[in-house]
Structure 1
Amino acid sequence: MEGIIIGGMFLAAYLIGALPTAVWVGQAYYGIDVREHGSGNAGATNTFRVLGKKPGAVVMLVDIFKGWTATSLAGFLLIFEAIPADQVVIYKIILGTLAVIGHVFPVYVGFKGGKGVATLMGMVLAVQTEVALICLAIFIVVLIAFKYVSLGSMLAAVAFPLLLLLPQFHPEEPLLMVFGVLIALLVIFTHRKNIGRLMHGVESKISFSGRKS
């Protein structure tokens, strides 16, 4: 019985993460598939770039909520006594990872999604709220100051494991530190093209004045 419950939650986490927010918002309100414009990704960054700040903000918030919701399903596993209490963090990481995979490879729209940074942020909020809020603040400050979503995403991701080194945030579960390092490496890897564009000064900036053409 426990196996069925756990498997059901795993599937639910993937399906929640796979909800193609950027694609649905673009098609429903603008008649545009964001994957056919800009970077071709179905994520918040490209929505900002293609449609502007309001739809971009909506997509980002929903994608963060997707990650948080999927990760928080670990609480139901605990309620149903499908897992022991000392394994909640481990299952949060598994469920959140499945949500991120769902965002990157969404079953609803041909497995072509985004980079998963916003969904990953929601996952981190559910796993380590205090550190995640600091990382979110770093992202917002960098975005406002430099107007580069990619730069904000990378700096926030790198900040996560560094903050975990501080005594007040150091996790009891060693896996969380490993997870933090992997997050930073993954985000940097998925933004390798952005790094090149930043170095050459050709990375697209986000407009806060409305929709971009």
Structure 2
Amino acid sequence: MPWLAVQVALVAVVCFFLGSVNPASLLARALGRDLRSSGSGNPGATNAGRVLGTKWGVLVLVLDVGKAWLPTWVVLRSMGTVPALVAGFAVVLGHVYSPFLRGKGGKGVACALGTVLAVEPFVALGAVVVFLVTKTLVPFVGEASVVAVLGIGVVGLLGAVGVVPGISVTVGIWLVLISAVVLSRHRRNILAWWSRRVR
């Protein structure tokens, strides 16, 4: 196996375990709470803010974005785009399927934002704008998050077919995969929201 492939494999493993470290759960435990049995049961920023308080929710959000942005950015600068895409995808997978939480990690929105911010910052900023606009129209953070992540996936799909200038086919496919992982964690919510709207 070529040395570069070995390096990329090592990056993937390290980034997966970095993503697996869940700040929300660690903070909740330090404060004597259990997010898995409180609020929505999700070990993420929104539930941390609901259960622990707004300042802790904001801190979790920053940490989740940061733990995805930093390794992706470092790998991007030191090894190039494709290894960075592997790193970012691994972080998101680690966060969503954390072995430290028995495979039931967070929903991955903040991590997805962080890793996309490192590779395609304008796409990430666009997703933030979409989230903020959508949040003024819908009552739940989760719904706005789904719309924002779906937006990232649409941009990725358009990039993959060459419609969006500046986004390569590889990066476009990566954006679609990142979105698909995050949306899969929201599938129950999506079905519940859809059923409410078609009644």
TM range (shorter): 0.7 to 0.9
The aligned residue for residue 40 of structure 1 is 41
Residue 69 of structure 2 contacts residue 117 of structure 2 at CA under 8 Å; is this kept in 1? yes
State the shift of 1:184 in Å: 3.5
Q: In structure 2, what is the Cα distance between the partners aligned to 1:52 and 1:196? A: 28
Residue segments in structure 2 that go unaligned for 5+ positions in a row:
none
Q: In structure 1, what is the Cα distance between the partners aligned to 2:13 and 2:178? A: 22
Number of residue pairs matched?
A: 192
The aligned residue for residue 59 of structure 1 is 60
Residue 8 of structure 2 contacts residue 83 of structure 2 at CA under 8 Å; is this kept in 1? no
Q: In structure 2, what is the Cα distance between the partners aligned to 1:141 and 1:69? A: 27
The aligned residue for residue 192 of structure 1 is 187
Cα distance change on mapping 1:53 and 1:40 into 2, 3 Å: same
Q: In structure 1, what is the Cα distance between the partners aligned to 2:183 and 2:117? A: 19
Q: How does the TM-score come out when normalised to structure 1?
A: 0.76
3-state SS in 1 of match to 2:33: coil
Q: 2:90 aligns with which of 95, 98, 119?
A: 98
Cα distance change on mapping 1:141 and 1:61 into 2, 3 Å: farther
3-state SS in 2 of match to 1:146: coil
Cα distance change on mapping 1:144 and 1:130 into 2, 3 Å: same
Which has the larger helix fraction? 2
Q: In structure 2, what is the Cα distance between the partners aligned to 1:52 and 1:194? A: 23
What does the per-residue CA deviation read over 1:7-34, in whole Å, with 9 as the maximum and x for residues that have no partner?
A: 43223211221111110111213x1110
Higher relative contact order (CA 8 A, sep 6+): 1
State the shift of 1:92 in Å: 1.6
Residue segments in structure 1 that go unaligned for 5+ positions in a row:
79-87, 203-213
Amino-acid identity (%): 31
The aligned residue for residue 210 of structure 1 is none
State the shift of 1:4 in Å: 5.1
State the shift of 1:173 in Å: 2.1
My pick for the range that moved more, 118-127 or 182-191, is: 182-191
Q: In structure 1, what is the Cα distance between the partners aligned to 2:177 and 2:195? A: 27
Residue 135 of structure 2 contacts residue 144 of structure 2 at CA under 8 Å; is this kept in 1? yes
Instruction: Say whether residues 1:157 and 2:149 are aligned partners.
Output: yes
